[in-house]
Amino acid sequence: MRASDTAEIIFESCRIPQENLLGAEGEGFINCLRVLDGGRIGLGALAVGIALGAFEASLNYAKERKQFGKPIASFQAMQWKLATMKMEIDAARWLIYQAAERIDRGQPDSRLCSIAKLYSSEAAVRATNEAVQIHGGYGFIKDYPAEKFYRDVKVCTIGEGTSEIQRLIIARHLLGKSGEKT
């Protein structure tokens, strides 16, 4: 994520010629919200990719790293960590696929996009945390990829709406905008 340059842009007294208007006047915010569904899928896919990288690095490391004369992958605790990582990555991937397929069919589902983004980003945080744990002390050394995955993944729970915003969107779809179940 260090290559992603983020900056603030401020427009003051900015006038846009009518021929450069995108969409209908006064509907900019609504159009912006519609774009967020696709962005959430993209960010969720990024989270899945980071989690998968962390998983693959951990799997390889666990097969190579020896403790007490055998690979740490032979220990049940490591096996369970790897199994959980893979399970959550696969579940996240399928949620992203399902949300993307709905958009491709012209039937966007904001609730599903929020679920997919929320689950995949939080699963990726868990996966990268476990990757650092599996790597032990090497998990924080820049010579190993676990450190980079762990550092980079956090933006996935922030960008395109924080995890808290995703939960709010999901709850509003479940309960209706007033908060009362519909």
What is the model's pLDDT at position 18?
87
Band of residue 25 on the pLDDT scale cut at 50, 70, 90: confident
Confidence check: pLDDT of 118 > 60? yes
Q: What is the mean pLDDT of residues 103-116?
A: 94
CATH of domain 52-175: 1.20.140.10
Catalytic residue positions?
Answer: 160
What is the model's pLDDT at position 20?
87
What is the model's pLDDT at position 29?
81
Confidence check: pLDDT of 1 > 70? no
Confidence check: pLDDT of 56 > 80? yes
What is the model's pLDDT at position 182?
47
Q: Vertex 16, ends 13 and 19: CA angle to 5°?
A: 170
Q: What is the mean pLDDT of residues 153-174?
A: 95
What is the model's pLDDT at position 132?
97
- The DSSP line for 10-64 is --SS----GGG--SSTT-HHHHHHHHHHHHHHHHHHHHHHHHHHHHHHHHHHHHH
